[in-house]
Structure 1
């Protein structure tokens, strides 16, 4: 079976938004337009650099798969990224404080 290739416009249409830690920017993309079962987070400057994939959204059986760089990251860093990813997936673009991020602080606007 041959899988259909999505165009750049199709992929862009699946984007839910972006967020930043003050140094890097991340993009959240849904797996489909209607009732997506998963989403992925990737570095905005390199879509091939997958940071996190969350699957099981429609079933409620959530599963997180972390990219290589993030597998060994501290749990607090992964929890921060996971929380922002869900926030952006459900609510759109996120806002972070660059000055707070450089001090190692994190905050959420929702």
Structure 2
């Protein structure tokens, strides 16, 4: 029994959004429509050009697998792409991901 092939419409339904670094455009696609365990980032003009796969979303044991070109990229570039990928996966838009606010600790003496 062969693997089921997804139609173009099915693949489009899994797309969470896109973002760009000003030169290249990236697309984020979930592994499934409900509670996906992974997502992938690929070059928008070539879905076979995988940039990043993040797995373990449902288990909380996250694992990033980088595409060939990105394995040797500077950590700063990979962190930028990873942050955008998560932002688009969760929010589905191209807004700039907010930087985390400085943590303010509160203590109760009561």
The TM tier, using the shorter chain, reads 0.7 to 0.9
Structure-to-structure mapping, 1:15-94, within 5 angstroms: 15-94=15-94
Structure-to-structure mapping, 1:1-16, within 5 angstroms: 1-16=1-16
Unaligned residue ranges in structure 1 (runs of 5+): 96-107
Unaligned residue ranges in structure 2 (runs of 5+): 99-110
SS state at 1:60 partner: coil
TM-score (ref. length: structure 2): 0.86
CA distance in 2, matches of 1:93, 1:68: 26
User: Does 1 or 2 have the higher relative contact order (CA < 8 Å, sep 6+)?
Assistant: 1
TM-score (ref. length: structure 1): 0.86
SS state at 1:81 partner: helix
Q: Which runs of 4 or more aligned residues in structure 1 lie more than 2 Å from their structure 2 counterparts after TM superposition?
A: none
**Higher alpha-carbon Rg:** 2
Residue 109 of structure 1 and its aligned partner are, at CA, apart by: 4.2
What is the CA RMSD across the aligned residues, in angstroms?
A: 0.9
